[in-house]
Amino acid sequence: MPGRVAFWTQTARLLACTAPLIGCDYAYPEVVVVNELGESVLVRNVSFNGCKWDEMLAHEDATAPGRCLTGRDQVHFQRFDAAQYCQTQVEDDNLPGLCFCDAEDAPPTDPHDLGLVSQNPLWFNYQTISQHEVEYGSFHRFVLRPDGLEQDFSVPGPYGH
Amino acid sequence: MHATHTGVTLVVLAVSSLPASARAQPPTDRPSPTAPQASADDPEGVEPRRPTDTADPTAATPPSPPSTAATGTSPEPIEVEVRGRRRPRRNDTAAVTEVSGERLRDSARASTLEALSQETPGLYVTSRGVGLHGIASGASGALHLRGLGGSPNTQVLVVEDGVPDYQGVFGHPIPDAYESFLIDRALVVRGGDSVLYGTNALGGVIVLENRRLAREGFELQNDMALGSYATLRERLAVLARHGEWDVTSGVSALRSEGHRAGAGGANDLAHFSVRWRPRPTTHLLVSTKLFHGTGGDPGPITHPYTDHWYDARRTTSSVQLRSWHEGLLLRLVPYLNTGVHRLYDGFYSRDHNAGAYAETELDLLPGWHALVGLSADSVGGWVENRGTEEVENVQGLTNTAAYGQLTVQPWQPLELVAGARGVLNSEYGLVPLYKLGTRVEMLPGVAVRARWAKNFRQPTIRERYLPFPTANPDLEPEYATTLDGGLNAHLGKLVIDAAGFRTHSRNLIRYFGAWPTAEVVNIDETTAYGVEGLIGVHDLGPLSARASGVWQDVGRYTRQNPSHKVNLAVQLRHTLGTGVLTGELSGEWVGGLYENNYARDPLDDVFFIDLALRYPLELSAREYSLEPYLLVRNLLDLEYEYIQGYRMPGLNFLGGLKVTL
C-alpha cells in the first residue's frame, strides 16, 4: 500500500509540474477593433492575424478582446453602408412611397434599368491600408476610419474539399 | 538451434530474466532494431531487419539506463546461434527507411506522419498546427516524396498491418488516423512499389506494423499529456499474450483549442486486434480500427474561418490468415475500409474500399525465392449535398491483379530481384507493371543497390466525378517509372544511407486554375530527379546525432514540392539518480517551397527547432515505470508556415507522463 501511495504522489507531483504550461498561450496579444467608419456603416467578419470576430459592429461599437497570433497583419472586414444602400433602393424605385426630398439629388432621367436592380444588400471586403504589429503580452485597440481603408482582393475564393 | 540451410549465421543474445528496464520497453514480435532478425514467433519475416538496412540505428530507442545495477538484477546473456539462409525481404532493392515505433512515440513533432518526416530523408509532410491535420479544404498532412504526392494526396500509399489504407471517394489516407501508440515500426519505401502494393504506390509506400507482445503476460502503457492551447493528449495501449491468444488494443484521444480561431478539434482512435495461434505455424489475426475526427478549416490567418467544420468517421477491419510450412508461406487477407464524411457546406459521403489478397512465398531452390499473389479491390461510394439535395452520379472502380516477384541469390553477396504485376481495371483494362533490382553486399555492413520500377495510380472518384472544384470523367491512370540507386552502410556506430533517383511520370493528374474556372487534367510527362542522404552516429558516449536531407528538381510542378529539406537531431543522455535524463534537439529546414505550380507563390523557408526532455524512472522494485517528459516546440519562436496563410504556432509546450505497468 505505501508503494501505491508513493506512486500516485509521484504522479501527481509530475502532473502538477506540467500544468502551468497549459496557460502559456495566454501571453498572446489581445486585440480590439472599433468601428468609426460613419454612423450609417456596419462592419462584420472582422479578422486580424488569426483572430476572427463574429459580431456585427455598428458605429463606435468595439469587438470583444481577442487573442491573436504575434506578428504583422492588416485588419480585414466586410463593410456595408446602409445610407448608400437606401439611396440606391430609392433610385431603383424599390421602396414605394419614398423619393428624394431634394430634386437635385434625383437621377436626371429614367433611372430604371431592371437588369441591374438588386435588393440584396452588398457587403464589400475591405482592409486597413496600414499593417499593425502585435507582440506577446501586449494590448492593441485598432480603430477603423474612412481614410485608412482599401478594398481587399485577397479573400480566398470557394474551393472545396 | 540449426536451420536446414547453410549460409548466413545469425546470433541472438537473449537474457534469462527481464529487468524492469526491459519491461518498460518490452520485447515485441520484432527484435530490437540493433539486433538481426530472428523471430521464431513470426518466421515468415515479412520485413526482417538486418544491419545493412537503411534503418537509422540512431533512431532506435536510446539505451536503457543502467538501472539493473541499481536494482541488483543481473541478467545472464545466453548466446543462441542460428544458422541458415536469410529469407529475402519484400523490398530488398528499394530505398527503405525504417523507423521504430518508440522513436515515433518519443518524437517532439506533433503527429505521427510529421515524426516520420523528421526521420526519413525525402519525405515531406505539411502541417498547420499542434497535431490536427483535418480533412477537406485547408487540411494538412499531405505526403510528398520525390516530387509526387501532396495534392492530390493520393500518390503515396499507406499500408497498416498489411492493409492498404485509403478512402474510397477521395483516394487518400486520413493523416489524423495514424497514432504511434501501437506502432512497432514504420517502413518508408521511397520510390513506391506498385508490383507489390498495387494502385497509389506511385511515389512511395509507408508500411506501418503494429506491436504484439512476444512474451507471455500483460503490458499496459498510458501516456497522458497536457499542453499549450488547452491541448490534451491521451494514449492507452494494452498488450497481452496468453497461451494461443495475443491481444493488441488501445485508444488515443487528442483535444486542442488550436493556436488560433478555428484551428481546434479532436481526434479519437480505437484499435483492437486479437491473434489466435492454434499451431506454431498458423496465425489468424482479426483487427478493427475506429477513427472519429472533428475540427475545422481555420482558413488563412488574414481571413480565418470558424464555421468550416468537418466530421469524419472511419472503420477499417481485416482478417489475416498466415500459415507456413517447410519454406512455404501462405497469407490470405480480406479487408474492408468504410467511412462517413460530413462537411459544413452540406457535403455528405459514404465510401468503401474493400479487397482481398492471397500471397504465397516459397523457396524454389537454394537461393531462389518466389512470391506470388492474387488480389482484388473495389472502391466506391455515395456523395450528396444535403443542403441542395443534389446527389452526385459516381461510379466505382475495381481492380483484379496477379503479381509475382522472384529473388535470386546466385551467391551470397548478390541479390537479383524481378517482379511484375498485371492489373485488370474495370475502366482502364490491363495495366502492366514491373520492377527490376539488384543489391550487392560489398563488405559486411556495406551494400549498394539499384532498382527500376514502373508504378501506377488510378484516378479517384473525386477527380472523375465531384465538382470540388471540378471533375473530369475521362481521366487516365497515372504512371511513374522510377530509377534509383544507392549505398547503405552500417559500420559500428556510423550509419550512412545515400540514394539518387530519377522519376519519369506520365499522365499525372493535376488541378489548374481556381473555381469556377478550374480544370483537372492528365498532364503529358514530367521528370523529377534528386539525391537523398542520411548520416548518423549513435552512442558516442552520451551523444547520438544524425542528419538527413534531400535535394531535388521537380520541374514545373512545384506545388508543395520543396527543392530541399534537411532534418537534424542531436541527443544527449545523462545518468541522474535512477534514471537517464535525455535531451534531444531536432529541427527541420525546408526550402524552395511554392504554394503553386510553375514556381508561383513562393513561400519563405520553413525552419524550426524542437526540444524533447525525457526522464525515464526505472522503478524495478515496483511493478511500474514512470517517464515524465516535456516537449518544447518551435523553441526559437520563429514564424513559419508550410501552407500559405496557415501559420504554424509559436513557442509551445506539451508536458506529460508515461506510465508502464
- Write out chain A residues lying below 8 Å of B137, CB-based: 159-161
- Write out chain B residues lying below 8 Å of A73, CB-based: 301-302
Asked if the model's pLDDT at residue A113 lies above 60, the reply is: no
- The mean-pLDDT minimum among A125-134, B67-76, B81-90 falls in B67-76
pLDDT of residue B633: 95
Using 50, 70 and 90 to split pLDDT, how confident is the model at A109? low
* Averaged confidence pLDDT in chain B: 86
User: Cell 485508444 sits at which residue?
Assistant: B251
Residue B266 to residue B103: CA distance in whole angstroms: 24
- The mean-pLDDT minimum among A27-36, A113-122, B393-402 falls in A113-122
A15 within some domain: no
Write the CB contacts of B323 (distance below 8 Å, at least 6 apart in sequence). B281, B282, B283, B329, B330
Output the nine-digit C-alpha cell for B15: 537474457
Residue B423 to residue B430: CA distance in whole angstroms: 6
Q: What percent of chain B has pLDDT over 70?
A: 86
- Give the global pTM: 0.86
Provide the CB-side half-sphere exposure for B48 (13 A, CA). Answer: 19
User: Chain A within 8 Å of B300 (Cβ-Cβ)?
Assistant: yes
Asked if the model's pLDDT at residue A3 lies above 60, the reply is: no
Task: Look up the domain containing A68 and give its range.
Answer: 26-151
- The alpha carbons of chain A give a radius of gyration, in whole angstroms, of 25
A112 within some domain: yes
Q: What percent of chain B has pLDDT over 90?
A: 72
Q: Cα-flanking dihedrals φ and ψ of residue A104, to 5°?
A: -65, -25
Yes or no: say if B51 and B233 are a contact pair by the CB < 8 Å rule: no
Q: What is the pLDDT of residues B15-73, one digit of tens each?
A: 333 333 333 333 444 333 333 333 334 444 444 444 344 444 444 343 333 333 333 34
A42 within some domain: yes
User: Chain A within 8 Å of B481 (Cβ-Cβ)?
Assistant: no
Asked if the model's pLDDT at residue A62 lies above 70, the reply is: yes
Mean pLDDT of B98-108: 94
Domains of chain B: 9-660 (2.40.170.20)
Residue of A nearest to B257 (CA): A25
Question: Beta strands A30-35 and A139-144: pairing type?
Answer: parallel
Q: Which of B535, B559, B561 is nearest to B549 (CA)?
A: B535
A56 within some domain: yes
Mean pLDDT of B137-149: 91
pLDDT of residue A80: 94
Asked if the model's pLDDT at residue B114 lies above 70, the reply is: yes
For residue A87, what is the domain's CATH number? 2.60.40
Top pLDDT among B90 and B470 is at B470
Residue B556 to residue B527: CA distance in whole angstroms: 9
Residue of A nearest to B513 (CA): A159
Residue B253 to residue B233: CA distance in whole angstroms: 6
A92, A105, A112, A118, B341 from A109: Cα distances, Å: 12, 12, 9, 19, 56
User: What sign does the dihedral A79-A84-A90-A96 (CA atoms) show?
Assistant: positive
Distance in Å, alpha carbon of A151 to nearest chain B alpha carbon:
14
Q: Tell me how crowded residue B549 is: count the other CB atoms within 10 A of its CB.
A: 17
ipTM of the complex: 0.80
pLDDT of residue B83: 56
pLDDT of residue B48: 47
A18 within some domain: no
Q: Cα-flanking dihedrals φ and ψ of residue B522, to 5°?
A: -80, 130
A136, B96, B148 from B453: Cα distances, Å: 52, 14, 15
Q: Which helix (H) or strand (E) holds A142?
A: strand A139-144
pLDDT of residue A161: 56
A49 within some domain: yes
Using 50, 70 and 90 to split pLDDT, how confident is the model at A104? low
- Write out chain A residues lying below 8 Å of B136, CB-based: 160-161
- The alpha carbons of chain B give a radius of gyration, in whole angstroms, of 24
B103-136 burial: b if 16+ Cβ within 10 Å, else e: bbbbbbbbbbbbbbbbbbbbbbbbbbbbbbbbbb
Q: What is the pLDDT of residues B346-373, one digit of tens each?
A: 999 999 999 999 999 998 888 899 999 9
Q: Considering its fold, how many domains does chain A have in total?
A: 1
User: What sign does the dihedral B272-B238-B251-B167 (CA atoms) show?
Assistant: negative
pLDDT of residue B511: 86
A136 within some domain: yes
Output the nine-digit C-alpha cell for B483: 530509377
CB contact under 8 A, A7 and B657: no
For residue B248, the one-letter residue type is T
Output the nine-digit C-alpha cell for A90: 430609392
pLDDT of residue A86: 84
Output the nine-digit C-alpha cell for B605: 523557408
A77 within some domain: yes
Residue pairs spanning A and B at CB distance below 8 A: 113
pLDDT of residue A88: 81
Output the nine-digit C-alpha cell for B375: 488480389
- The mean-pLDDT minimum among A53-57, B62-66, B570-574 falls in B62-66
Q: Which of B181, B202, B656 is nearest to A19 (CA)?
A: B656
Residue B401 to residue B397: CA distance in whole angstroms: 13
